[in-house]
Structure 1
Amino acid sequence: MKKKRRLPIPVAVIIYFITIILTVVLVVGNVVILSYSQIVTGFLGQSSSKLVPAKGEEPVDYFTSDFDSNEALHDYSKQLGQEIVEEAIVLLKNQEKALPLASGNKVSLLGQNSVDLIYGGGGAGSIDTSQAPDFKTVMKKSGFEINPTLWDFYTEGPGKEFRKETPSITGQGAFKVNEVPKSVYTKEVISSFADYQDAAIVTIGRSGGESADLSPDKLDSGFHYLEIDQEERDLLQLAQDNFDKVVVILNTSNPIELDFLENYDIDACIWAGALGQTGAYGIGEVLNGNVNPSGRLVDTYAYDVFSSPAMVNFGDYTIKNSEVASGDKYVVYGEGIYIGYKYYETRYEDVVLGNEDRQAYDYETQVQYPFGYGLSYTDFEWSNYQVKESDDSFEVSLTVTNKGQTAGKETVQLYLQSPYTDYDKDNLIEKAAVQLVGFDKTVEIAAGEAETVTIEVSKEEMKAYDSQGHGTYIVDAGDYYLAAGRNAHEGLNNILAAKGKTVADGMDVEGRKELAKKFTVDQLDAKTYAVSAETGKEISNQFENVDIKKYDDDFVYLSRNDWEGTWPTVYADGKWKASEQLLADLEFSHEENKEDKMPEFEKISEEYGKLSAAMLIGADYDDDKYQALLDQMSLEDMTTLVRMGGYATRYIESINLPGTINKDGPAGISSTLVGGGESTAMGYPAQVVVASTWNSDVVNRMGQAIGEDSLAAKVSGWYAPGINTHRLPFGGRNFEYFSEDSFISGKLSASEVEGAQNKGTFVFMKHFALNDIETNRMGGAMFANEQAVREVFLKPFETTVREGNASGAMAGMNRIGPRWVGSHKGLMTNTLREEWDFTGLVITDQASFPNFYYQDMFGGLEAGTDMWLNTSTMLWNFSDESLTPTMANHLRNASHNIIYTIVNSNAMNGMTANTEVKKVTPKWKFMLFAADAVIGALLAFIFFITTRKLIRQRREKKAAISE
């Protein structure tokens, strides 16, 4: 008889232990997954609610597509992505007309970047590169023959071991170049050049990403990230030694040092930026001449990226005596308004005017390519410059004639100079020598033809913020100049010529005085712009606690009145022992209003009866029905809306408000972060590329195309556009922001937003505000004076609200001064809503983890923030004690803003006044529960079998003993 196998006790214990552990993991896993069910549902493209139409009623779509199918939309979007890059490519150098190349040329693509192009950046601006063409495909489509030996070397041979590195989305890791060393190139590769000799095309790539700035420190290579390293220098030398024609492509988003264009025998160079899914095709069409490049730089390219005064205060700086949660980091914007060209050009003018020692500043060795710079394959002549003044604006006209042999587009730029007066000096007001106040791009002008460009410039551009004197916007008395120029430097030279200055006074070239007009303001005006044109509210100081002078009265910002004496230093040497006042201001705080009464909940209006959200489509924000609708909601409805706003908004059954799906990022409706959707959306070129088009029409069409994707993918909210400022060349997210200049950033952002909202998409302009670097963006305190805050950092947001009618904003993770942005009432309510007349929804940045608790909900709701980007049901819960009448009223106000935004969006498509919103269980939950049942039953069976085996063995043992 076969002997039964016994189950050893130690083995049984192990089985029990594993079974219990797996059971605990199953339970805990379910709790965690279900607590994040909102984001899981959205990621899978499912829903937790459904629309139930009334009997006999047909669904109504309030926003409709202009396309018959998703395929037609996608075809259009692909072409638009390419067109944006074609409009944006900047021709920086073209020695002896090296470009365009002839179609059919046999070329060699050099550098590991040629097989690893930059299409986007890390994080919210990421691109699905599986949908993007490689450079070989691009060039072949444009008619070029590509060196296959060299291509295979990079993709399959020894060169494949070398690829650029970037940090993770959380900022772990580093940006590294990793170009192929010259010693790795084989004889076979070198000899292959002879058969593909028409041109060497060298691609230089630099990436960017969320959560990490580019390091200004030397890398292992001995070079910093924004200069070419030794391997890249060797690569250029290799190209120079083996080819008669060398073309460089800058596949970069940040301004890098380009002295190598002068140090090596490089014939031509184009800047293309981060390309999006289809933009790379534009490079080939520019290289073969089918497209004449018309893009212009939106950043100043200095020979030394460290020459910017803003670079002095860039780093990891600590408030050494602060124990406030996420409140021990800071940066002081000691440069004031002097960002980018506003520094370089102003200091140049001061040299020419004799206000600055020529030995202290040499523009020609400082700036290689000025803001607004760009060449063409043809030559344009500007003439007949006219300025007509009206009460509120200037109408500027200019004739552009194509004097060359090739059709092309020209970009006309207008620059204003305001007087720098004794009043300014006494009251610490700074004035840049020039500021961009208008631009337009021509249509394609045929050779020998001309176009008259007309641009309206608002007189509001003359205002400056006076925080010390009148405490509002003023227009100084004195002489103003309005000039046309192909770039900021040319515009300034034209103004200097109008002042009678020449190269004898230190100008680098003669200006054209006929392209500048002077007009004079007789008296200082402190009234016209002291009142909001949108709301009639008086405009006054709101950012005194953002100014470092509140905590250090001896601090001095950079001033053109004394460049050397006010040059910034690292504030407190980066280790600041803060005052008791600052430490107290860093703490969370909000105020209770004892006169507030608890609002009513779950009450049906006697006047209107039971309301449905769809009944308020198109209603004014102040319509009485909104108050009746809010009365109808429960307290739980409101808290759910406010605290569960991560990548979605919750449906509210009591008022038949549908839920929405909301997605990142600036490159389009992204699926790379949060998945889902019924349609694949287009990933467009980076915002810095979009800005370099200088073409409002193209940008508006991009916005509309993103709105179309919103309709197709049933995604109503879009976390974009990104409109922070390129304060520094090393900004990690410069790629997803427009420019160093606030004017062009605002104008193009407004155009993009208007396009998207035309299709019912609600936007979240971000990151509001002063979130211009990634270093310590979580809680870091940013200090700047009120003039800089308003004129440099807030102006793009202001324009996007006032001209683009933006429906939403995303509060940054940073502090401005000591307060988290979202809890700064001066920003969120007094400025955003009461000055600019913003009517919409403000959401936080990421708030789905406990370490984001410094984004205080009580202070945020009080200040005017409405919704937390949170996907966890376990976070941001209200206790009964915390729900005071004051807080309940803040919740009600926030709910009003959220509902108003949704009701006027494409989320209402398919709804009528009688449509009901009902809860449903997403399919993934049924699958989860089924898996739970199977796994749970299996674990229970194992537990049961093990236990039964042990019991039998015990009985058998007892029986054996008895016998």
Structure 2
Amino acid sequence: MGKWQRSLYQPVLPLGKDGKRVTGSAEHIALSRKAAGEGMVLVKNENETLPLAKGTKVALFGKGTIDYVKGGGGSGDVTVAYIRNFYEGMKIKEAEGEVSLFHELPEFYEKNVKEQYAAGAVPGMTREPEVPDELVQKAKAYTDTAIITICRFSGEGWDRKCQITEEGYELFEDEKKQIELSASIFENGDFCLTNGEAAMVEKVKANFKNVIVVMNVGGMVDTSWFKDCKEIPAVLMAWQGGMEGGLAAADVVTGDVNPSGKLVDTYAATLEDYPSTENFHKSVYYVDYNEDIYVGYRYFETIPGAAEKVNYPFGFGLSYTSFETEVLGAEEKDGKIVVKASVTNTGKRAGKEVVQLYYGAPQGKLGKPAKELGAYRKTRLLQPGETQRVVLSFTVEDMASFDDLGKVAKSAYVLEAGSYVFYVGNNVRDAKKLDFTYDLAEAKVTAQYTSLAAPHKLEKRLLADGTYEALPTDNGPVEEEGLERQDKLTLEGFLPAVKAQERKSFGELMEAAKTNPNLMNVVEGKETLDEFVDKLPTEALIHLLGGQPNTGVANTFGMGNLPEYGIPNIMTADGPAGLRIQPQCGVNTTAWPCATLLACTWDPELIEEIGKAGGEEVKENNIGIWLTPAVNIHRSPLCGRNFEYYSEDPLVAGKSGAAMVRGMQSEHIGASVKHFCCNNKETNRKDSDSRVSERALREIYLKAFEIIVKEADPYTIMSSYNLINGVQASENKDLLTGILRGEWDFKGMVTTDWWTHGEHYRETKAGNDIKMANGYEERVQEAFEKGYITRDEIALCAKRILTMILRMD
């Protein structure tokens, strides 16, 4: 194909074999099902309750049996040909002779859920109906085995267990509607069971000997109701498994798939046990990240008294078989920690295991988590008795901590003196300490930087011993002089202008094409990009800095769009759970499992395969940039958008995200890694200030982005809505220019999230190259004329946008 042919002409050109489309293809749907099964986590299985023995009679309870949630809402939603719920999956297993079902129960739920949908309910936002006693008794007479399915919806723009403090904040109508609906359905917050669900569970426990629970959820939920409950011997965290998630869950409970997923978050006994819960809803205008680097297992494995609050530790997950991991050797070699191990399947079923390597740095002056994940590896499918050797490694410098206060060396990554210890196992709690240590006689600076994006109003932070240290505060930040800020209402939901073209003859257009600068000359090597940009008028450069109208099936707008200069309009599309095309376009795509499930596979190779398949669908539909992956940290279970994000751990998030980016960009489809950074709360997300220390910023909240930049070279990164330490992320020069480009050497382009509250020209000055979905050319032009921004600053961002476009097919 010719350069930019898809963007310029929107051809119908399938990418599959024999002229078939790959979008929503059987092969991609099969991959979605496979990935869903790989990421489901068996957290409880007493008395070998699972897998179900062949021919087991089963009663299916819970409206979640029918009311299946394939993935989250908002930008994470996908238009598909069908969705397979758990009942439909189990019916397939029944047809294959694996189970027998008591059909009256799911038929009761099916009728009820259809009625709720008809009344306007959406999947996961339905109410648990009361099951008639006579139906329960009929099911009891049929079998002693029951499977309860609990489902939860997740969505963009709202948080869980929503609270709005009295600070004069006015809710948007959608926010208000969602919060009121959530409160009416989930009386105890959707982290916990509803009263209706709890009553149903008690009824099932009282009438059935073998009770199995399947959790169709997007992330962290209450596990205390089944953790120590003897009447519930088995629990599968099935997550939001994409369009084939119900069948994938059936694959696991019947034993056709041996579960190999591991948790990527810590499951504490109560919501209040997470340190982030206390001040999550303290204000709609800011969040104090007082727990600092002690997020997730770094908190629960370190802080005195926290360990006993854990129900299920990070990295935990059961299998239908058993494994033995033997460490064969550990050493430091050429600046790397290298651990060799063998994994043997000692059970009776084929299965996969995940080997996890943790390190513990000396407490020193800075204080450290007791354990931090350094590397991990998932085995291939091992047959009973089969052994696989694995090598785990990471650099010594990866163990360095950022010293933001100058206790050892200010604004530097530091390896403190002492012994560094290592642990190997299949979860953070059970990992066994090795005899090998890495010893440093004196502290070593591994990288020296300057203070960037420092907090101004964060008063304290948690230390490893459970106490807090005071942090310096001031009245900053101070904003540079400039145009009076735009009214925020003028920044909400406006569409790009459609550029007018005067009536011209064919001859006039042909003549102009001969004389105008043309980006194709750069493609063909006739001139450099710098030479091309120098020829463009400032007005044209400013035009490039804003979003452009949709073409084809796109609905999230384009970038570029200066045909008179040979610049195509590159379309974007939402992710991350699949290519998002509006239903009215008539295109069904593949719905992949949610990001949390994918992370639970602990398998970057599988995630890369999904990235490639997703990239093919994006490309086939003539779109150039897929707005995924989302790699924000699971700081709190309350964040409504956790389903879109991978993990509480930055290494898992970074490795998973890098794999997704590599897969997508192998198709020359641009990734947009989001949301940079600290977008850990949806309430008032465009104006909430994340107050976080420089250390936590670099070690926790920026680390996944850093890994992706250095390992996968993403075409684009998306800045977040929120403020970071008093500065809009999209206007934050310390982050976008100082750290992202200055420290990490990022070569790509930065886009805003859609309709931010940042001032366009200030975003440009900070290094945020394009404002989406709509730019404000007149504001940038006025700032240019008044000397608040220079042509060089404008041209620099334009060049980055053009560089991205040049990377496209």
Q: Determine if the TM-score, normalized by the shorter chain, exceeds 0.5.
A: yes
1:154 to 68, 93, 109: 109
Is the contact between residue 559 and residue 566 of structure 1 (CA under 8 Å) also seen in structure 2?
yes
**CA, structure 1 residues 380+757, in 2 after alignment: closer, same or farther (shift >3 Å)?**
same
**Which residue of 2 is the match for residue 633 of structure 1?**
536
| Aligned residue type for 1:120 | G
Matches within 5 A, 1:416-435: 416-421=359-364, 424=365, 429-435=366-372
Is the contact between residue 409 and residue 443 of structure 1 (CA under 8 Å) also seen in structure 2?
yes
1:882 deviates by: 3.8
**CA, structure 1 residues 302+165, in 2 after alignment: closer, same or farther (shift >3 Å)?**
farther
Match status 1:440 vs 2:377: yes
Q: Distance in 2 between matches of 1:133 and 1:215?
A: 29
**CA, structure 1 residues 488+177, in 2 after alignment: closer, same or farther (shift >3 Å)?**
farther
Matches within 5 A, 1:337-416: 337-347=293-303, 356=304, 361=305, 363-364=307-308, 366-416=309-359
**Which residue of 2 is the match for residue 927 of structure 1?**
none
Match status 1:249 vs 2:231: no
User: What SS is found at the alignment partner of 1:839?
Assistant: coil
Is the contact between residue 204 and residue 250 of structure 1 (CA under 8 Å) also seen in structure 2?
yes
Match status 1:487 vs 2:427: yes
Q: CA RMSD in A?
A: 3.3
Matches within 5 A, 1:818-829: 818-829=726-737
1:197 deviates by: 1.3
**Which residue of 2 is the match for residue 520 of structure 1?**
439
Q: Distance in 2 between matches of 1:629 and 1:116?
A: 55
Is the contact between residue 150 and residue 215 of structure 2 (CA under 8 Å) also seen in structure 1?
yes
| Aligned residue type for 2:210 | K
Match status 1:200 vs 2:146: yes
Is the contact between residue 586 and residue 818 of structure 1 (CA under 8 Å) also seen in structure 2?
no
Q: Distance in 2 between matches of 1:163 and 1:228?
A: 24
- Range with greater deviation from structure 2 (70-79 or 196-205): 70-79
Deviations 1:621-652 (A, max 9, x none): xx970111112323332222212255212422
**Which residue of 1 is the match for residue 173 of structure 2?**
none
| Aligned residue type for 1:92 | V
**Which residue of 2 is the match for residue 667 of structure 1?**
577
Larger radius of gyration: 1
| Aligned residue type for 1:878 | Q
Is the contact between residue 769 and residue 811 of structure 1 (CA under 8 Å) also seen in structure 2?
yes
User: What SS is found at the alignment partner of 2:376?
Assistant: strand
**CA, structure 1 residues 345+877, in 2 after alignment: closer, same or farther (shift >3 Å)?**
same
TM-score, normalising length: structure 1: 0.72
1:657 deviates by: 1.9
Q: Distance in 1 between matches of 2:17 and 2:801?
A: 28
Q: Distance in 2 between matches of 1:114 and 1:584?
A: 55
Q: Distance in 2 between matches of 1:188 and 1:303?
A: 35
Is the contact between residue 164 and residue 179 of structure 1 (CA under 8 Å) also seen in structure 2?
no
**Which residue of 1 is the match for residue 463 of structure 2?**
559
Matches within 5 A, 1:798-817: 798-817=706-725
2:794 to 888, 891, 898: 891
| Aligned residue type for 1:485 | G
Matches within 5 A, 1:92-241: 92-128=43-79, 131-143=82-94, 144-156=99-111, 160-161=115-116, 178-181=127-130, 185-194=131-140, 196-197=142-143, 199-215=145-161, 219=183, 222-241=187-206
User: What SS is found at the alignment partner of 1:346?
Assistant: coil
| Aligned residue type for 1:818 | G
Is the contact between residue 615 and residue 669 of structure 2 (CA under 8 Å) also seen in structure 1?
yes
1:873 deviates by: 8.0
**Which residue of 1 is the match for residue 689 of structure 2?**
781
Q: Distance in 2 between matches of 1:259 and 1:841?
A: 45
- Range with greater deviation from structure 2 (480-489 or 515-524): 515-524
| Aligned residue type for 1:683 | A
1:613 to 510, 519, 535: 519
Q: Distance in 1 between matches of 2:89 and 2:717?
A: 37
User: What SS is found at the alignment partner of 2:68?
Assistant: coil
1:870 deviates by: 2.2
1:457 deviates by: 1.5
1:386 deviates by: 1.3
Q: How many residues align?
A: 743
**CA, structure 1 residues 120+665, in 2 after alignment: closer, same or farther (shift >3 Å)?**
same
1:473 to 402, 413, 426: 413
Is the contact between residue 309 and residue 335 of structure 1 (CA under 8 Å) also seen in structure 2?
yes
1:380 deviates by: 0.5
Is the contact between residue 70 and residue 240 of structure 2 (CA under 8 Å) also seen in structure 1?
yes
**CA, structure 1 residues 394+763, in 2 after alignment: closer, same or farther (shift >3 Å)?**
same
**CA, structure 1 residues 738+880, in 2 after alignment: closer, same or farther (shift >3 Å)?**
closer
| Aligned residue type for 1:333 | Y
Q: Distance in 1 between matches of 2:515 and 2:791?
A: 23
Is the contact between residue 709 and residue 746 of structure 2 (CA under 8 Å) also seen in structure 1?
yes
User: What SS is found at the alignment partner of 2:382?
Assistant: coil
Is the contact between residue 715 and residue 748 of structure 2 (CA under 8 Å) also seen in structure 1?
yes
**Which residue of 2 is the match for residue 34 of structure 1?**
none
2:231 to 244, 259, 265: 265
2:761 to 844, 849, 858: 858
User: What SS is found at the alignment partner of 2:244?
Assistant: coil
Q: Distance in 2 between matches of 1:165 and 1:207?
A: 15
**Which residue of 2 is the match for residue 325 of structure 1?**
none
**Which residue of 1 is the match for residue 20 of structure 2?**
69
Matches within 5 A, 1:837-848: 837-847=745-755
Deviations 1:72-120 (A, max 9, x none): 8712210110111111010111111000013443322111111111111
Q: Distance in 2 between matches of 1:410 and 1:84?
A: 15
Q: Distance in 2 between matches of 1:252 and 1:165?
A: 21
2:457 to 545, 548, 566: 548
Consecutive unaligned residues in structure 2, runs of 5 or more: 164-181, 485-513, 549-555
1:392 deviates by: 2.2
Is the contact between residue 254 and residue 730 of structure 1 (CA under 8 Å) also seen in structure 2?
no
Q: Distance in 1 between matches of 2:579 and 2:524?
A: 25
User: What SS is found at the alignment partner of 1:311?
Assistant: coil
Q: Distance in 2 between matches of 1:800 and 1:480?
A: 26
Is the contact between residue 163 and residue 177 of structure 1 (CA under 8 Å) also seen in structure 2?
no
Q: Distance in 2 between matches of 1:485 and 1:716?
A: 41
| Aligned residue type for 1:556 | K
Q: Distance in 2 between matches of 1:72 and 1:311?
A: 41
**Which residue of 2 is the match for residue 593 of structure 1?**
none
- Range with greater deviation from structure 2 (397-406 or 128-137): 128-137
User: What SS is found at the alignment partner of 1:709?
Assistant: helix
**CA, structure 1 residues 587+765, in 2 after alignment: closer, same or farther (shift >3 Å)?**
farther
Is the contact between residue 242 and residue 593 of structure 2 (CA under 8 Å) also seen in structure 1?
yes
Deviations 1:379-430 (A, max 9, x none): 1011133113212212211111111111100010110100001xx2xxxx33
| Aligned residue type for 2:438 | F
User: What SS is found at the alignment partner of 2:460?
Assistant: coil
Q: Distance in 2 between matches of 1:787 and 1:164?
A: 49
User: What SS is found at the alignment partner of 1:310?
Assistant: coil
**CA, structure 1 residues 234+314, in 2 after alignment: closer, same or farther (shift >3 Å)?**
same
